Amino acid sequence: MASKAALSTSGDERKLRDSVRLVDAFATEVIRQRHKLGASSGSDLLSRFMGSISDDRYLRDIVVSFMLAGRDTVASALTAFFLLLSDHPEAAAAIRDEVSRVNAGDDDDDDRAACFGSRLKDMHYVHAALYESMRLFPPVQFDSKFAAGDDTLPDGTAVTKGTRVTYHAYAMGRMESVWGPDCAEFRPERWLRGGRFVPVSPYRYPVFQAGVRVCVGKDLALMEMKAVIVAVVRSFDVETVGRSSRRPKFAPGLTATFAGGLPVRVRRRARAVSGHSPPPKSNTPTTEE
């Protein structure tokens, strides 16, 4: 039995090595192609890094970070967002109202105009709802840093060089001392002042880290998620199904996920005509799952 377990482990480790080689080869090819085109020919993040970094191994690590960190964290954040939106239909209605207002006078069928470009910047409620969702369910629940030298934390705790210091964004987002007595509630309005999104200190809301270590893909990730939210909420109703408890289990890991996934029922919405509300739904709505 022991020999079989060892053989299985060896097989898994071999698959892992092969997978790492595949990812490395892809990243190396991306860098080679960019070198061939010339770093100065593009304005993308990789080109900007290549303008100041000559170490291809370091560049490879950056490309791998883009591929893995960006994909999984965005997926995790959007999953949590649609879970919360299913529980708060008033937030979905507010998003639709804002999208209609920002795109007033445009062709209703022009989804791309609603989702991309500078108009996303004018959707302050969408931004607030997304930030509020990530406050409660941050894609990266905790992170660690190592002290480069002896230091003292603001509360007086001494930290010696080489000490690993971990902060827990998930716990911080649910602390009454940080967010007030309604810290457990999903309330996008807490981010709005006069209808405009107002951020707080990144050290209070460390979802994208802070200081010199702030996430380099923050703006790109926010744009991606807002575009998806606007496109989906504008045209569909998303309802969670098959929930045995009020909340699915939020599974910790390098990137947080919901254990067992998040089953949902998706219904296409009838389009509003000339600014009027959509007609009442049929008793037998089309359901896409």
DSSP state of 192: E
pLDDT of residue 220: 77
pLDDT of residue 224: 85
pLDDT of residue 285: 37
Instruction: Give the Cβ contact number of residue 81 at 10 Å.
Output: 25
Express each pLDDT in 173-183 by its tens digit: 999 999 999 99
pTM, rounded to two decimals: 0.72
Burial class (CB in 10 A: 0-12, 13-18, 19+), 178: middle
pLDDT of residue 117: 54
Backbone angles phi, psi at 4, to 5 degrees: -65, -40
Partners of residue 267 on adjacent β-strands: 237, 287
Express each pLDDT in 150-164 by its tens digit: 999 988 999 999 999
Distances from the Cα of 15 to the Cα of 2, 61, 63, 83, 113, angstroms: 20, 20, 21, 34, 44
Distances from the Cα of 209 to the Cα of 7, 98, 147, 205, 279, angstroms: 41, 29, 16, 8, 45
Cα–Cα nearest to 121, from 228, 232, 219, 193: 219
Cα–Cα nearest to 130, from 73, 51, 172: 73
pLDDT of residue 279: 39
Residues of the chain with pLDDT under 70: 1-10, 39-45, 69, 105-118, 243-248, 252, 271-289
pLDDT of residue 228: 92
Distances from the Cα of 217 to the Cα of 73, 137, 237, angstroms: 11, 19, 29
Structure tokens at 255: 């990137």
Do 25 and 31 meet the contact criterion of CB atoms below 8 Å apart?
Answer: no
Cα–Cα nearest to 91, from 128, 139, 138: 128
Do 130 and 81 meet the contact criterion of CB atoms below 8 Å apart?
Answer: yes
Angle between helices 2-37 and 56-87 (to 10 degrees): 110
